[in-house]
Structure 1
Amino acid sequence: MKIVDTMSTPSTHTQPKRRFYSAELKSLVVAQCRYSGASIAGVALSHQVNANIVHRWIREEQQRAEQAQVQGQLAAFVPLTVEAPGMNKPSEPDAIRVQVQRPTGMVTVNWPVQDGGACAAWLREWLK
């Protein structure tokens, strides 16, 4: 019995070559498919193209249109200038203001900012 290595012998069967379709043909076929009542399969058959390929061309055209729309929306944004932190910073208040509303009235307490720890301790005791 003779063992034959089929991988080392050159094959008589050649790989089929991919077909190339020009951009003009693609745009013509897609445009014809957009007509009202047009059959995609019928248009593909009239141009000797597989209907699945025409469906892919239509999808790609829709994706390009959506991408162009998004790019147009991005161009519509207005650039803003942002100031560096610390510029035009409002001045710090001179006092801590605590306002408490009660049924009998409102109590307002102004406390110096430098003594914030004592204000917090007083407020904790007062709210117990």
Structure 2
Amino acid sequence: MTLNGMGLSGPLRVTKVLRNGKRRFDPVEKERLIDAALEPGVSVAGLALTHGINANQLRNWIRLRQRRETENALTAIPINVPPAFVPVVEAAPVARPPSTSARPTSPRVRLKASLPNGVRLELEDADTQVLSAMIEALGRCDVPAG
């Protein structure tokens, strides 16, 4: 019996039987069986039964091959790929900020918050803009109770 034109018929040829009873199969026939199992519409369990192996074993072989192909695809990176990171360059300041006496003074505030997960947050000597931004950010957080 030939399956899907792959030249597979009957049980897989065993090349070695270990002392613990485990069998080693012909690698060429094993690869053909995996190829046949990957064909659309093929029953992996039926294919395994036809060839005298456990269906879970065939599924493991398929999974191992797919993992190996994925790893090979990840290691095959083209040489002329530009770097993924962009260098950071520090720019010189354009102008000095106005002196502290020229700025309008805003009241300084102290904030202490204890979150449900046990995290404590303390913000001292902050102006109202920083405080409002912090409260808004804390309101957006969905912190699970710890």
TM-score between both structures, scaled by the size of structure 1: 0.50
Partners of 2:30 and 2:44 in 1: CA distance: 13
Partner of 1:103: none
- State which of 30, 38, 61 in structure 2 corresponds to 1:34: 38
Partners of 2:71 and 2:54 in 1: CA distance: 26
Listed as ranges, the matches of 1:83-94 within 5 Å are none
Stretches of structure 1 lacking an aligned partner (at least 5 in a row): 1-14, 81-88, 99-119
Q: Which runs of 4+ in 1 moved over 6 A?
A: none
Please give the root-mean-square deviation of Cα atoms over the aligned residues, in Å. 2.9
Matched residue SS, 1:124: coil
Q: Does 1:127 align with 2:103?
A: yes
Partners of 1:16 and 1:68 in 2: CA distance: 32
Listed as ranges, the matches of 1:85-124 within 5 Å are 97-98=95-96, 123-124=99-100
Residues 2-54 of structure 1, C-alpha deviations (whole Å, 9 max, x = no match): xxxxxxxxxxxxx6421112321221111111222211111111211111100
Listed as ranges, the matches of 1:65-76 within 5 Å are 65-72=69-76, 74-76=77-79
Partners of 1:77 and 1:52 in 2: CA distance: 42
Partners of 1:44 and 1:75 in 2: CA distance: 38
Q: 1:29 to 1:39 in 2, by over 3 A?
A: same
Which amino acid in structure 2 is aligned with residue 97 of structure 1? A
Which amino acid in structure 1 is aligned with residue 29 of structure 2? L
Matched residue SS, 1:20: strand
Matched residue SS, 1:127: coil
Stretches of structure 2 lacking an aligned partner (at least 5 in a row): 1-18, 84-89, 105-146
Of the structure 1 ranges 55-64 and 35-44, higher mean CA displacement relative to structure 2 is found in 35-44
Q: 1:63 to 1:125 in 2, by over 3 A?
A: same
Task: Determine which structure has more spread, i.e. the larger CA radius of gyration.
Answer: 1
Partner of 1:78: 81
TM-score between both structures, scaled by the size of structure 2: 0.45
Percent identity among equivalent residues?
25
